A and B are shown apart, each in its own frame.
Chain A
Amino acid sequence: MIYQQMAIPPRSEHLWRYTPWPRIHPTVPTEVPIADAVIFSLEGAEAFEEVPSSESGVDDIARAFLQAAGGSSNRLFINEASEPIHINARASGHVAVGHLNLEVKGSAVVFIHISGEPEWVGLHITGKIHPNAQLCFGFINELDPNTKFLRCEDWLIERDAELEHATLSVGGFRCKSDLRSTLNGTGASIRQSVTINADGARHEDQHVEIHHLHGHTNSDLVMNSACAGSSHFIGTGLLTIAEGANKSDASQVFRNLLLSEKARAEAIPELEVLADDVSAAHGAASAPVDKEQMHYLMSRGLSPEESQAMIVNGFLLNAFSNLTNKFLIEEMRTRLTVHLECELKR
């Protein structure tokens, strides 16, 4: 179905409860504005292939909108990459849209750094990880603090393939992410971490879906947010285990750190388990900074500000603790530490 034929989803839908479509649309929902292209550039020897925008039917309004809006469309096929690949996604203009398709047949580490100052950015990333391949993927959102950002991702993880997926979101004013992964073969696995640092009046909505279609598949999601000022974070997860996908192992943990009285956070993991013999666990917690942790650090000479910064830093870094790839962990840790140090100096 094309965008113009779609009805605006009601707020009763789990996905659109906290950030309804009209709030993340760049103008008014009936319009499809002319979009500038998000410019993707590569550091290293790899090269993009420019591809025509996909015209396949989608039933999700965000994806249909991004398809209708056009923008840039690139594809990167990776057989094997010994060094991490860094992709810079630069957005400019009023409304900017980009589509990127990744396909991995061997092993690779890929980072996408998105930056720029447009009023609105939309990004749709699709990826396929072939059987027995491994992709470590880091996404770093460093957009301007006034930018609205819509991000959709769709990952297909084939038999015995692995995806390590990390998100660090510190940019944008109103951000909505809808990240979906399908474990499409026995032995497929995903380890996913999402780290959010929100302040001011920032609104960040992260929706993560993981679908286990086959048995002996594994997923592990950790989502940590730190909310200051009057910011609002929403983390929703949908974990499904299909009928017959026995011996699947799935875990989702959401933790929110509230740094001010006006900050808000919602953590809503959801499970739909149709198989009999699985291990599925989920947990969610929202709390202010622990007073005993503060006291401990202050008793070692750190000021209250330094103590809180260290606790927040550690809390956010801890979201990457379920990852195993050293390049991925190091890059995400470095980016987060630099961001927090800059924030402390402001």
Chain B
Amino acid sequence: MAEEILRIENLHVSVEGTLILKGVNLTIHRGEIHAIMGRNGAGKSTLANVVMGHPAYVITEGSIFYKGQPLEELAVFERARAGMFLSFQYPAVIPGVQVGTFLKKSVTSVRDEAPKGRAFRKELTSAMEQLSMDKSFLSRYVNDGFSGGEKKRLEILQMLLLKPHLALLDETDSGLDIDALRIVAKGINEVAVDSACLIITHYQRLLDLVKPDYVHAMINGTIVQTGGPELALELEDRGYDWLDVTA
């Protein structure tokens, strides 16, 4: 069995006093791709955000383990430095901070050493070419004035550079046209080879390009059904009403 990267046990999470997650159990090993699907408000993004340590989300019961260690002890930046990565559904805009400066600082923090100039430039150029990103991105301010697709590409660019052990992708496919989706999927597949990957999505189309090992259906804060890639097709075909009975 491959190394266990993420284990979630009976997780209950509330936001501003409202219980959102109501007993989530999930284990992901290195090399596995898991997909979570569900209606709006089911708790999918909450799960990704609480794993990454967003301060607005409060764990009221249950535990999260990363590589066997309780995650609650780690601050957000320590989680990132330990190899966790969240591709945000709505990445923050940071006016005045150039993408190039930000990427270098982030890579330095996560790798715990400043990358060597020429080698880093080569690595960066290669990753940007892979994502069909123009070099002019580097002098733009982080997500400032970016289209939806540009924001998602920047998220994936960061993931390629940071090489996480756990990649959480929160609706990375939303707002992407089919060409951009193929490019982004290629980036995800590259990282997924050697990491644990949790994809949150509404649509089957990303899962045509990034083959999940497991698909989970989330209803009202709980995973109610787990299956293989065929579950995603069934959800796309039948919707979620048939699962309400199970929930």
Chain A positions within 8 Å of B, measured between CB atoms, are 290-293, 295-304, 306-307, 310-311, 313-318, 321
In the complex, what residue of chain B is closest to A293 when comparing beta carbons? B92
CB contact under 8 A between A314 and B105, given known A298-B77, A299-B76, A304-B77? no
Beyond the given A301-B106, A302-B105, please list 13 additional residue pairs across the A-B interface where CB-CB is below 8 A: A295-B55, A295-B76, A297-B94, A299-B53, A300-B162, A303-B109, A306-B109, A307-B77, A310-B94, A310-B102, A313-B96, A318-B95, A318-B141
Number of B interface residues at 8 Å Cβ cutoff, please give it: 29
Q: List 10 A-B contacts (CB under 8 A).
A: A293-B93, A295-B54, A295-B55, A295-B92, A296-B91, A297-B92, A298-B80, A303-B109, A314-B94, A318-B96
Measured CA separation A295–B79 after assembly (Å): 12
Interface-centre pick from A306, A310, A317 (highest chain B CB count, 10 A): A310
Tell me which residues across on chain B come within 8 A of A316, comparing CB atoms: 96
Is there an interface contact between A301 and B81, defined as CB atoms closer than 8 Å? yes
Tell me which residues across on chain A come within 8 A of B142, comparing CB atoms: 314
Is there an interface contact between B96 and A315, defined as CB atoms closer than 8 Å? yes
Is there an interface contact between A314 and B76, defined as CB atoms closer than 8 Å? no
Is there an interface contact between B109 and A314, defined as CB atoms closer than 8 Å? no
Q: How many whole Å from B24's CB to the nearest CB in chain A?
A: 20
Residue B88 is within 8 A (CB to CB) of chain A in the complex: yes
Residue B178 is within 8 A (CB to CB) of chain A in the complex: no
Measured CA separation A301–B92 after assembly (Å): 15
Residue B222 is within 8 A (CB to CB) of chain A in the complex: no
Tell me which residues across on chain A come within 8 A of B93, comparing CB atoms: 293
| The one of B53, B54, B95, B110 that contacts A300, using a Cβ cutoff of 8 Å | B110
Residue B158 is within 8 A (CB to CB) of chain A in the complex: yes
Interface-centre pick from B53, B81, B86, B94 (highest chain A CB count, 10 A): B94
In the complex, what residue of chain B is closest to A315 when comparing beta carbons? B96
Interface of B, helix, strand, loop or mixed by DSSP: mixed
Which 8 A-B pairs have CB atoms at the shortest separation, nearest pair first?
A314-B96, A301-B109, A318-B96, A314-B97, A296-B92, A300-B106, A301-B80, A301-B110
Residue B26 is within 8 A (CB to CB) of chain A in the complex: no
Tell me which residues across on chain A come within 8 A of B85, comparing CB atoms: 299
Chain B positions within 8 Å of A, measured between CB atoms, are 52-55, 75-77, 79-81, 85-86, 88, 91-97, 102, 105-106, 109-110, 141-142, 158, 162
Q: How many whole Å from A241's CB to the nearest CB in chain B?
A: 28
Q: How many whole Å from A133's CB to the nearest CB in chain B?
A: 30
Q: How many whole Å from A181's CB to the nearest CB in chain B?
A: 25
Is there an interface contact between A299 and B86, defined as CB atoms closer than 8 Å? yes
Tell me which residues across on chain A come within 8 A of B55, comparing CB atoms: 291, 295
In the complex, what residue of chain A is closest to B144 when comparing beta carbons? A318
In the complex, what residue of chain B is closest to A303 when comparing beta carbons? B77
Is there an interface contact between A302 and B109, defined as CB atoms closer than 8 Å? yes
Tell me which residues across on chain B come within 8 A of A298, comparing CB atoms: 75-77, 80
Tell me which residues across on chain A come within 8 A of B110, comparing CB atoms: 300-301
| The one of B88, B96, B109, B162 that contacts A296, using a Cβ cutoff of 8 Å | B88
Q: How many whole Å from B92's CB to the nearest CB in chain A?
A: 4
Tell me which residues across on chain A come within 8 A of B92, comparing CB atoms: 290, 292-293, 295-297
Measured CA separation A302–B141 after assembly (Å): 17
Is there an interface contact between B105 and A306, defined as CB atoms closer than 8 Å? yes
Is there an interface contact between A314 and B95, defined as CB atoms closer than 8 Å? yes
Is there an interface contact between B94 and A299, defined as CB atoms closer than 8 Å? no
In the complex, what residue of chain A is closest to B90 when comparing beta carbons? A292
Tell me which residues across on chain A come within 8 A of B77, comparing CB atoms: 298-299, 301-304, 307
